[in-house]
Amino acid sequence: MLRFNKKDSSFSSAEKSSLKENKILERYDLQKAIVTSCEEFKNEIGLPSAFLIGQEITPDNSTQNSLDLLAYDAEESSLIVIELKREKNKLQLLQAISYAAMVSKWDKETIIQHINHQKVADYEELLGIVNSNELNTEIKIVLIAESFDPEVIVTADWLTAFSLNIYAYADVE
């Protein structure tokens, strides 16, 4: 990456650093930034009609884990599972697929309960949209990480060929 110096109209090499080196954490920094800047984030990832349902949501009573972010695509009436990692993690895709499988069992009432419980920005508008549309059970998966193991990308690409909606975004700075 290059850094532009306006004073002398020149470029210089910018030091490459990692989220870990900069002490940027998944939940307290990256996730918080996404929630705080949701409009910019959803436009950047190509899902402008998405509404944030909430964060740290337990997708099923059978697990103690929680998914990082859950959103609703108003255009397609479907849920979006968003998983964040600050480093490479081969299990990120498996984790996201597991969460997607769990929330795919949700009905409209369960989604409404989570919207009411989390009460994020625009939740009243989202309630109206969810109530007035038939729920699409095809879940989108969005993976955000500084980088990915090749296995994650190859597997996500292969699953996309079977009509699973998986998006992976890397090199977050």
**Residue 65 and residue 81 in contact, taking contact as beta carbons nearer than 8 Å:** no
What are 27-47's pLDDT values in tens digits? 778 889 999 999 999 999 999
List the Cα angle 16/19/20 in 5-degree steps: 105
Whole-number average pLDDT of the chain: 89
Residue 2 pLDDT class (50, 70, 90 cuts): low
Residue 17 pLDDT class (50, 70, 90 cuts): low
Domain residues of the chain, as ranges? Answer: 17-169
Please determine, looking at this structure, whether the domain spanning 17-169 carries the CATH number 3.30.70.1060. no
Cα 172 from Cα 160, distance rounded (Å): 23
Q: Would you state the pLDDT for residue 173?
A: 46
DSSP strand pairing (50-57 vs 67-73): antiparallel
Whether pLDDT at 14 is above 70? no
Cα 79 from Cα 72, distance rounded (Å): 5
What are 65-118's pLDDT values in tens digits? 999 999 999 999 999 999 998 788 888 899 999 999 999 999 999 999 999 998
Closest by alpha carbon to 100, among 47, 15, 21, 164?
164
Report pTM.
0.85
Residues 6+ apart with CB under 8 A from 136: 76, 77, 78
